[in-house]
Amino acid sequence: MKDIWYYEVIRIIGATRAGLFINFVPINAVILAFGTTSLLSGALLVSSGAY
């Protein structure tokens, strides 16, 4: 059932937006878990690469 919702959301928002969201999921997890300077700088690098 959740696969149907996943594909329906991708159809609505588009593959580009869904891909960007998926790239930020691990970044948000790391920030919420630790929030140290080295992890934040890594998140900044990944974000700039996605941009």
30 confidence band (pLDDT: 50, 70, 90): confident
43 versus 2: the higher-pLDDT residue is: 43
- Is the full-model pTM beyond 0.75? no
Show Cβ contacts of residue 7 under 8 Å, excluding neighbours closer than 6 positions.
Answer: none
2 vs 4: CA distance, rounded Å: 5
Q: Residue 22 above 80 pLDDT?
A: yes
Three-class DSSP category at 1: coil
The letter for the amino acid at 43 is A
Contact 31, 40 (CB under 8 A): yes
Contact 39, 30 (CB under 8 A): yes
Tokens of 40: 């934040």
